[in-house]
Amino acid sequence: MSIISRLKNLNLSQRNLVIAAWLVLSCNAAFFHALSALTPYDGWRAGVFFAATGALLIAYFATFLQLITWGSFARPVQSFLLLASALTAYFMMTYGVGIDAGQIQNMMETDVNEVFDLLSLRLLAYMLLIAGLPLLWLWSMPAATLSWKQTLRNKLIAVVLGLVSMLALAGWHYADYASTFREHRELRYLIVPHNYIAGLKRYYSKIVTAPDMPLQHYGEDATRVHSSAKKPTLFVFVLGETARAESFGLNGYGRNTTPELRKRSVINFPQVSSCGTATAVSVPCLFSGMTRADYDPQLASHREGLLDILQRAGYAVTWIDNNSGCKGACDRINNVPLLAAEKARWCHDGECQDDLLADTFANYISRATLSDRVVVLHQEGSHGPAYYRRYPDAFKRFTPTCDSNALQSCTQQQVINSYDNTIAYTDHVLGRIIDTLKGQDDRYQTVMVYAADHGESTGEHGLYLHGAPYLFAPSQQTHVPMLAWLSPSFQKHGPRANCLAEQAQKPQSHDTIFHSFLGLLDVKTAVYNATLDWSAACQR
C-alpha cells in the first residue's frame, strides 16, 4: 500500500500521532540545537539521547492531541496548532527568541504597522512548508469514519501508550533531563508547541481575565512645593524605543552615534537597567511607582501612576505618541495627536519618523498657554526589524545597511549598521528637542530627560530583536541609555548639575524614574521614596 493510501485511511488517533511527529521534527530545531550544547554525550550516545528526547516529545504531544481533538472540532484544532507552530518556529529560528507569556503579550499589543514590518517571503515559505503541506493532507483526506465507541477506545489506548512511553523514556534519561532543565529553564521556551500554549494560558489568566478592579487612587496627597523660580517649569520626558546603551557614543561606543548630544552638555547615565525587555512591560512599570522586583501588571493597569500624580500636583500633563500607545500610562491625561500638516513629509506606509514627533512638540509648546507643564514624547526610535525605515536617507551614515525587514538575509554587520543609524537619528531628534527648549527660555525654565524602554539584540549570541525573558536576557536588551539636560534657569533653582553628574555615574534603573521625577518637579507625596531619587542629594 502506498504512503498516500496509508495517510488517507488513518483514523483520528493515528492522525494525531502523525501531526505530533511532524511538529516535533519540523518545528523544534532551535530546541535540539540548544540541547546539543548542554548534553554530556557525543557520538552514537548523543544520537540515542536525541532520538529518545524526540520520541518523548512525540508521545507527549500525541497524548495532548488525543485529549483535545474530538469530532468536528478536531481538524480546526489541528490546523491551529500547525499554523501557530509554523509561525512560532519561524520567529524562533529567525530571531533566536524564546516564547513565553511576555512574547505573547507583545504580540497581542502590537499594532498593524509593526505586524507588517515582520512579514517577509521567508515567513511565507516557512508557513507553506511547515503548515501548508500537512494542512493540504488534513483537509483533502478526511479521517477514517469510526463510531464514537471505536474512537473512544482508540483514544484510550493511545493515551495509555503515550503515558507509558513518556514514563519509560523520561525514566531512561531522568538524571540528564532533571539536571539540564533545572539549570537551564530557558529550554522550555524553545519547545514547540508547548511554549506558546503555556504562554497563551499564562497570558490569558494574568492579563485577559484579570479582575475588573476599580481605579485605585495613588499619591492622593500630592502637592507642589513652593519654588522661588519666577518662570513656570517645562519638563519633557522623551521615552525612547528599543535603544541600547552600548550603541550610544556617550557610553564609549566606538562609533560617534551621538554627536549632537555631545555638543549640548547633557548629563549621561551610563549604568541604567530597564524594568523589562519589551514595551508592554517597561512602559507601565516605569510610570507605576513599583520596582522591577515587585512589579504587578494587574495592579499597574488599575492604579494611578506618575502622570496622574503630577497632574494632581498642578502640572498640565500631555502625552504625544509616535509609537503603539502608552500601555495605560496616559489614559487620564491630555493626548495630543501628531501634526497632520507634516505627515506627508515624515510618514511612509503608515509609519512616521521621529522628526514628526519633534515638529509636533515644537508646534504644541508654541501655542500652549503659559503654565507648569510636563510633556511625554514617545518615540518610534529603533524599533525593529525594519530599522532602515526609522531614519531618513540623510542618516544612512554607517554602510552597507540592511534595507530589509528580513534580518537573516543581511550580514550581522549590515544589521548593526542600520541599527546604529537609528541611534544617530535619535541623537538628532533629541538635539532638536533641546533646541526647542532653549527657544522657550524667556517663558520657561526647562528640563529634558531621555530614557529608553528596553534594548535590542542585533545578532549577539544568535539573538535578534528583544522580549527575551528577563532572567535570561542579554545585556543588549536590559542595559538602556538615559540622559538629562537642564537649562541654566532651571539649574539656578533646581538640583546642582555637577552633583547630578556625579549621581549619574552610579548604577541606576527604571525603578528610579518615578521618584526622581517627583524630586525634580518639587512634588511632595507620601509615596515618594528619596532613596530611589537620583536628584535627592543634589537639591539646593
Cα separation of 410 and 400, whole Å?
Answer: 10
Most confident range, picked from 2-11, 166-175, 197-206, 337-346 = 337-346
pLDDT at 498 over 90: yes
The confidence score (pLDDT) of residue 311 equals 98
The confidence score (pLDDT) of residue 270 equals 98
The confidence score (pLDDT) of residue 210 equals 57
Handedness of CA 495, 256, 460, 429 (dihedral sign): positive
For 190-212, what is the mean pLDDT?
81
Domain ranges of the chain: 3-208, 223-538
pLDDT at 1 over 70: no
User: Tens digits of per-residue pLDDT, 361-377?
Assistant: 999 999 999 999 999 99
Cα separation of 503 and 486, whole Å?
Answer: 15
DSSP state of 245: G
Cα separation of 396 and 388, whole Å?
Answer: 8
Nearest to 33 by CA among 169, 193, 191: 191
Place of cell 539549570: 183
Cα separation of 495 and 539, whole Å?
Answer: 4
Portion of the chain with pLDDT greater than 70, in percent = 97
pLDDT at 211 over 70: no
Q: Provide the whole-model pTM.
A: 0.87
CATH number for the 223-538 domain, one of 3.40.720.10, 1.10.287.70, 3.40.50.1010, 3.90.110.10?
Answer: 3.40.720.10
**To the nearest whole number, what is the mean pLDDT of the chain?**
93
Handedness of CA 68, 104, 52, 163 (dihedral sign): negative
Query: Could you give the count of Cα atoms lying within 13 Å of 500 in the half-sphere of its Cβ?
Result: 23
User: Tens digits of per-residue pLDDT, 277-304?
Assistant: 999 999 999 999 999 999 999 899 999 9
For 74-78, what is the mean pLDDT?
95
Cell numbers for 138? 488534513
For 15, other C-beta atoms within 10 Å of its C-beta total 24
